[in-house]
Structure 1
Amino acid sequence: MRKLVFFLLLVIAVLPMQAKEDVTLTAEAPDVVVSGDQFRLTFTVNTQKGKDFLAPSISGFDVLMGPSRSQQSSTQIINGKVSSSSAITYTYILMAGKEGTYTIPAASIEVDGKKIFSNALTIKVLPPDQAAGNQQSRQGGNASSSRGQIAGSKISDKDLFITATAAKTTVYEQEAILLTYKVYTLVNLRQLYGKMPDLKGFHTQEIELPQQKTFSLEHYNGRNYNTTIWSQYVLFPQQTGKLEIPSITFEGIVAQQTISDDPFDAFFNGGGYIEVKKKIVTPKVVINVKPLPAKPDNFSGGVGEFTMSSSINAKEVKTNDAVTIKLTIKGAGNMKLLSSPEVKFPEDFEVYDPKVNNNFEVSRAGLSGTQTIEYLAIPRHAGDFTIPPVEFTYFDLKSRSYKTLKTEEYRLKVAKGKGNADQVIADFTNKENVKVLGQDVRFIKLGDTRLSPKGEVFFGTTGYWLGYIIPFIVFVALVIFFRKQAAENANVAKVKTKKANKVATKRMKLAGKLLADNKKNEFYDEVLKALWGYISDKLSIPVSQLSKDNIEAELTRYGVSDEITKTFINALNECEFARYAPGNESEAMDKVYATSVEAISKMENSIKH
C-alpha cells in the first residue's frame, strides 16, 4: 500500500514538470565526414507523446538503415526535488558519397496536435585520403585524435605539422593583423607545448581560445587531417618595412601503440601505449608594413573604424559648479594607442586632467570596444561661454584616408552664485579636501621678553628703512621672476620638456603599484606609456609620430651619447617583449621596472636643449 501511494505521489509531481518543458526535435550528425564513411543521423524529440514522424529528403548520402525508433526515460529525486526526462530517438545509418557540402532539411513530428520541426544540418564530405594503405579515422567532425601508430614508427613532417598564417601580409602601420597557428595531425597527438616568439616591431594581443581543443577533419594536400586552431594573436605593427614573425618550435607528445607478443593479451587488452616526443617547427611569416599617408597635425594615432559621441552634464550652471563633458569613442582598431582628444574650455575655467575608462576586448578585427573620457572644468566667473566642437582624426582602413569626427558645440550660461563642486572634484580626482582647524585660543607667551623705554620712536631707525627697502627688492625680484616664468610658459614645447620627468615619475609610481599587485598587462602598458610619453615630451614630438629609428636620430641631434640612447631603446624593447618571454614573470617585471627607471634617470641627466 505504501509503495502504491509513493508511486501515485511521484506521478503527480512529475506530470506538471513534464507539461512545463518545451518540446523540441533535435537533429544531430557529424559536421565533416569522408567519402565512403558510415555515420549516424539522429532525430530526438524530448517527449514520448510524439507521433507521425516525417523524415526529410536525404540527398548526397546512401541510407543503409533506418529509421530505427528507441525510447529513453529517467527520473531523479535530489534533496526532495523530483526531475524527469523522456525522449524518442529516430536513428539512420548513412554512407557518405561524392565530396561536397550537403544540407539535410528539417524533419517534423506531431506532439499534442502541433507540428514540431527540427533544425537543418549542413555536412561537408571530404574526398578519400590519397595515401594508400592508411585507414582513416571514422570519428567525423567531432574527432579528437587521429589514427594510431605502431611503436617505433617514424613520425614525419607530413604526419604532424603546424601552420602559421597571417590574415593579411601587406598592411598599413598600426593596422590589425590576425595571426593563426593551426595544428594538422595524422597521429594520436596527446599534448603540445610552445610559446609565442619574441615579436619585434609589433604590439601583440592574444585572443582567448578554449583550453580544451576540439579537432575536426580537413582535406589538405591530398590527406584527411584532424585539425584545430591552437592559438591566435592580433598584431599591430609599430614600424614600417618588412617585419618578420619568427618560427616557433613546438614539442608534441604522440601516443604510439605497443603490440604484445602474447596473442591472448593482444586480443583481450589490445596492447599498451608509449609516448614519443616530436619537434615541430612553424614557418616564418613576413609582413610588409606600409607607412600611413602624411599625418595631419590633429591625428589621434587611431587606425581602424571609430565613432564618437559626447554629452554634457548641464548647460546652465552657477559659478564654482562642476561642468563635465563625456566623450565616448567606440570602434575597432588600435584602441589602446589612441591619444585623448582635446576639449578647449574657456580660458578662465579651472580645468582638471581627464579621466579615462577603457572597456576593450580582443577580436579578429583588433581591439574592439569603447573608451570613455570625462573632462572636468570649474567656471569661476559669470557669463555666456562657448565650448567648441571636439575633433577626433583617425585613419580609416576601408577608405584608406583620414577621417575627422566632430562633436556638437556647447553653449554654456554661467550665473553668479555660490555653486559647490567639492563632491564632484573629490569623486573625479579621489582627493580629500583640505581642512583648516580654528585657532581662536592663543598660547601664553613664554621665555625672555624685550621691553622698550617709553617714548622711543620707530620712525627713522634702521628697521624703519629696511621695512621699505626689503619689500621693494622682493617686488622687483618677483616681477622679473614672473615675467621670465610667463615667457617660458608661452613656449608649450619647453613647458612639456620641463615637466617630462615629473609626468614620467608619476606614471612609474603607478606602475610600481601595479607591479606590487602583480597586474601584468596593466603594468607593461603603464611602463610603455611612461617611456613613450617621456621621450615625446623631451623631444617635442607627438607619440603618434615617434618610432625607435627617429628616436635614435633625435637623441643624437640633442647630444645624447650612444650608450644612453641604447639603454633607453633597450628599455623599450624589454618592456614590449618581456610579457611574452618564458620564465619567472615577477623577475621579468622587476627587471623591466628597474631598467625603465634607470633609462629615464640617465636620459634626464644627459639630454640637452
Structure 2
Amino acid sequence: SLSTEMHNGKEYKVGVLKKAALFPSQLGELSVTPMVLSIPVQIQQRQGGNGNVFDQFFNDPFFNNYRTVNFTAKSNTIKLQVMPLPSKGVPPSFNGAVGDYSLSSAVSAVNVKENNPLTFTVTLKGQGNIQLLSMPDFTLPTGFDKYEPKVSQQISRDGTISGTKTFEYLIVPRVAGKKEIPSLKFSYFNPEKRSYITLSTPPYPINVEPGASTGNTTVAGYSKEDIKLLGEDIHYIKTSSSDLRKRVGFTEFGAGFWSAVVLPLFALGGLITWKRRNDKLAGNLELLRYRRAEKIARGRFKSAKKLMDAGDQRGFYAEISQALFGYLEDKLHIPKSEMSLDRAVDELQKRSVDGELVSSLRSCTEKCEFARFAPAGDGAGAMNEMYNELTKVIVGIERTLSVKKHA
C-alpha cells in the first residue's frame, strides 16, 4: 500500500519495496549495498510552436503528449559499525546467541518403565536470529540413551524478528532406579542490557520402574542381549571322517580364483577414488557450491515454470530472481552478505564473459526486480519471455565458465 508524503514542497506517493533483517557476522564497518531499479517513467513532451492558438490547444494535457523513458533509481548506502561482544564474563554455556530470550522445558513422564521412551522438550522464545539458535549438549546419567533432537521453529517477521524454537529429545531409560535429567543451561548476550544472561531448566527426577520380564533383565551389568547361549555358540567336534571324500577336477588357480582376487582390487580402487573426490568436495565448500550451482538453479527454474503455468506473477519473479542470484553466488564464490548485481557483473567481466551476455544479465535482472513489485498487464507473455531470456543467460555463463576452467 502507498502513503502520501511531502518532500521539498512536493507531494509524493511512498511505498515500501523491501524489508530485510540483517544480522552481522563480522566486526568493523559494514556497508549495506544500495538497491537499484530501472523504472519506466512517463514524461510530458511539449510541442514547439509560435505561441499561436493551435499550439496552445494541442499542448493541452488532454491530448496526452507523453513519452516513456527508463529512470534508474538507486537507494543510499547505509554504513554500519559492528562492535565486538564483551570478552569478560562470558559464561561457559554461551555459543553466540544475541537477543532477548526465555527458556522453558517439560518432560512427558516422570514415572516410566525400562525401555519405554520419554520426551524431554526445551523451548526457546524471544527476539533475535531464531534460525541459528542451538542448545548446548548435555550428558545424561548412565542407563539413559539419548537421540538427536527433533527441531522445529516458528519465526515472525512482523517488524522485528521473533519466534520460538523447540528441541524435542527422545530419551530411553535402560536401567531401573531413581534417575535425574540434569539442568540444561543456555546463555545469550542481551544488547539492550549489555550483559550476558544465563537461563536454565530445572532438573527432572525420573523414576524408572522394572519392565516386564521380556528378556531385558540384567546380569552382572550385562543385558541378555549381550549374552549368547553356549549351545548355539559352539558345535560338537566331529570324531569320524567316514563321510569325507576327495574332490576331483578341482583347479587350484582357475578363472574363478583370479576373478575373486582381481575384481575386489578394482572395486577397492574405485571406492578410494570416489572417497577422495567426496572428501575433496567436503573440504572445499567453494568447489562444492560451484559444482552444484547449475543443478540448484535448474531445480528453481522448474519451480518457477510451475508458478508461471499457474499464473502467479509475484511468485514466479521471486523464485526466478532467487534462482539467478543463488546461481551467481555459488558460481562466482560471492558471499551472500556481499552479493549485488554490480559485484556479479564485475566478477563475470574478470572471467572474460562476453559483454553482450553480461548486458543481457543486467537487463533481465532489472526487469525481473521491477516486475516483482509492478507486474505487467500481459503477465503470461512477459513471464515466458523472462523465463527464456534468463535460461539463455545462465546457459551462456555456464558454457563460458566451463570453457575457461578447462582451457
The two structures have a TM-score, normalised by structure 1, of 0.36
Asked whether the 8 Å contact 1:315–1:412 carries over to 2, the reply is no
Return the alpha-carbon distance in structure 2 between the equivalents of residues 182 and 330 of structure 1: 31
Asked whether the 8 Å contact 2:123–2:165 carries over to 1, the reply is yes
Q: Deviations over 1:263-302 (max 9, x none)?
A: xxxxxxxxxxxxx948699xx99776124337799xxxxx
- The offset of 1:495, in angstroms, is 1.3
Matched, 1:292 2:83: no
Structure 1: which 5+ residue stretches go unaligned?
1-177, 184-220, 222-228, 251-275, 298-305, 332-337, 362-367, 397-402, 414-453
SS of corresponding position for 2:76: strand
Q: Which residue of 2 aligns with 1:601?
A: 395
Asked whether the 8 Å contact 2:188–2:198 carries over to 1, the reply is yes
Structure 2 matches for 1:163-174, cutoff 5 A?
none
Out of 4, 12, 15, the position equivalent to 1:233 is 15
Return the alpha-carbon distance in structure 2 between the equivalents of residues 559 and 381 of structure 1: 60
Q: Deviations over 1:535-592 (max 9, x none)?
A: 1112222222111111111122234332333333333222111241542112222222
Q: Which residue of 2 aligns with 1:36?
A: none
Question: Which structure carries more strand by proportion?
Answer: 1
Change (3 A) 1:503 1:457: same
Question: Given residue 326 of structure 2, which amino acid in structure 1 is its aligned partner?
Answer: G
Asked whether the 8 Å contact 1:328–1:370 carries over to 2, the reply is no
Question: Given residue 235 of structure 1, which amino acid in structure 2 is its aligned partner?
Answer: L
Structure 2 matches for 1:27-426, cutoff 5 A?
180=3, 232-236=14-18, 239-240=33-34, 247=41, 277=62, 289-293=76-80, 309=101, 341=132, 343=134, 368=159
Question: Given residue 497 of structure 1, which amino acid in structure 2 is its aligned partner?
Answer: Y
- Percent identical across equivalent pairs? 20
Q: Which residue of 1 aligns with 2:215?
A: none
Out of 296, 300, 303, the position equivalent to 1:503 is 296
Out of 487, 492, 496, the position equivalent to 2:285 is 492
Matched, 1:549 2:342: yes
Asked whether the 8 Å contact 1:326–1:372 carries over to 2, the reply is no
Q: Deviations over 1:207-255 (max 9, x none)?
A: xxxxxxxxxxxxxx9xxxxxxx9954113498449989775569xxxxx
Q: Which residue of 2 aligns with 1:469?
A: 262
Change (3 A) 1:605 1:388: farther
Out of 583, 590, 598, the position equivalent to 2:384 is 590
SS of corresponding position for 1:569: helix
Question: Given residue 234 of structure 1, which amino acid in structure 2 is its aligned partner?
Answer: V
Matched, 1:577 2:364: no
Q: Which residue of 2 aligns with 1:564?
A: 357
Question: Given residue 526 of structure 1, which amino acid in structure 2 is its aligned partner?
Answer: E
Out of 282, 303, 309, the position equivalent to 1:516 is 309
Asked whether the 8 Å contact 1:391–1:405 carries over to 2, the reply is yes
Change (3 A) 1:241 1:489: closer
Asked whether the 8 Å contact 1:564–1:599 carries over to 2, the reply is yes
Change (3 A) 1:247 1:509: closer
Q: Deviations over 1:319-345 (max 9, x none)?
A: 9999998877869xxxxxx99537599
Return the alpha-carbon distance in structure 2 between the equivalents of residues 575 and 307 of structure 1: 35
Return the alpha-carbon distance in structure 2 between the equivalents of residues 586 and 341 of structure 1: 39
Question: Given residue 336 of structure 2, which amino acid in structure 1 is its aligned partner?
Answer: V
Q: Which residue of 1 aligns with 2:318?
A: 525
Larger Rg: 1
Change (3 A) 1:241 1:582: closer
Return the alpha-carbon distance in structure 2 between the equivalents of residues 287 and 467 of structure 1: 70
Structure 2: which 5+ residue stretches go unaligned?
20-31, 45-60, 85-97, 110-114, 138-146, 174-180, 205-246
Change (3 A) 1:380 1:597: farther
Q: CA RMSD in A?
A: 5.8
Asked whether the 8 Å contact 1:309–1:407 carries over to 2, the reply is no
Aligned residues: 294
